[in-house]
Amino acid sequence: MDALTALANGLNLRAKLVYAGGVCGQWLMDHNSDKSIWFHLVSKGRGWVHSPAWAAPLELADGDLILFLPHAAQHFLSYSPAHLPGDMEGTRLTNFDQGEAGFVCGEIELAVPQSPLWRTLPAEIVIRKTEAGETSARLIELVIAESASPRFGSDSVIERLCDSLFILVIRHCIEANLVRQGVFAAMQDRRLATVLHLIHQEPWHPWTIAEFCTRVGLSKTVLTDKFRKLIGLRRSNTSRIGECRSPPNG
């Protein structure tokens, strides 16, 4: 079991579908939260994100995905780049076919939303359809197809697909070098990733720093310095690297 899989399993992260369908009129979405990760997948048409994170409203097109973590600035999704409605009175919810735009929206509740684990990730994560990668693109297509033609169990199917999509988003952040510190950053370092993999693969084993150094070909000084720099272990605590487990930060 690799480190990211072990972490996801340990935190028991699950997506909860909030809305899947169409919107019409002068629509507005206000899904700010300091406790959950919110995700919005454009299943049809276009929408704009109004947030101080961008100098101008950010356009989202069919197939684009955006996630807002608990430390994101206050934001809104709107029908227009020029007009931000003051309330949701002009929002009309429709089925997929009748909507001028369509969305799949949901949240992932976190037990400790302001923990360092999550704050090391970007506050806003945008995955464009054209940049999603083959696996993510296929999942996005499946989510959109299921939301466009709902059947028995569709909500559950969409939620499980979004679970997988969220893991791919974290993988994207790791592989795209979007995180600089913490556990996710450590996964970018091949040797630290090996150490994390060993810990999660055999959590019962009384690992020692000497064993890790032998496995990854690093000196004790270099290995402990890497852990201290990326994960924040103090020098006095580096002897406990082998006791690391998935942190209760979900």
pLDDT in tens, 100-155: 999 999 999 998 898 888 999 999 999 999 999 999 999 999 999 999 999 999 99
Mean pLDDT, all residues of the chain:
88
d(CA 36, CA 39): 10
Grade residue 14 by pLDDT with cuts at 50, 70 and 90.
very high
Q: Which residue has the higher pLDDT, 154 or 179?
A: 154
On the question of pLDDT at 165 being above 70, the answer is yes
Give the CA radius of gyration of the chain. 20
Q: What is the mean pLDDT of residues 18-44?
A: 97
Q: What is the pLDDT of residue 193?
A: 75
Q: What is the pLDDT of residue 88?
A: 94
Q: Compute the CA torsion angle 218, 220, 226, 232 (nearest 10 deg).
A: 160
Q: What is the pLDDT of residue 233?
A: 55
Grade residue 22 by pLDDT with cuts at 50, 70 and 90.
very high
Q: What is the pLDDT of residue 250?
A: 60
Grade residue 206 by pLDDT with cuts at 50, 70 and 90.
confident
Q: What is the mean pLDDT of residues 228-249?
A: 53
On the question of pLDDT at 247 being above 60, the answer is no
Q: Which two tokens stand for residue 213?
A: 């150094």
pLDDT in tens, 69-81: 999 999 999 999 9
Per DSSP, the residues of 17-82 read EEEEEEEEES-EE----SSEEEEEEEEESEEEEE-TTSSSPEEEETT-EEEE-TTSPP-EEES-SS
Q: What is the pLDDT of residue 102?
A: 98
Environment class of 22 (CB within 10 Å of its CB; exposed 0-12, middle 13-18, buried 19+): buried
Q: What is the pLDDT of residue 204?
A: 80
Q: What is the pLDDT of residue 220?
A: 87
Taking alpha carbons only, the member of 247, 43, 235, 31 closest to residue 150 is: 43
Q: What is the mean pLDDT of residues 170-195?
A: 83
Grade residue 237 by pLDDT with cuts at 50, 70 and 90.
very low
On the question of pLDDT at 236 being above 60, the answer is no
Rounded to whole angstroms, the maximal C-alpha distance in the chain is 64
Q: What is the pLDDT of residue 12?
A: 83
**Ordered domains of the chain (ranges, CATH):** 3-179 (2.60.120), 189-243 (no CATH)
What residues pair up with 67 in beta bridges, in sequence order?
Answer: 39, 125
Q: Which residue has the higher pLDDT, 66 or 246?
A: 66
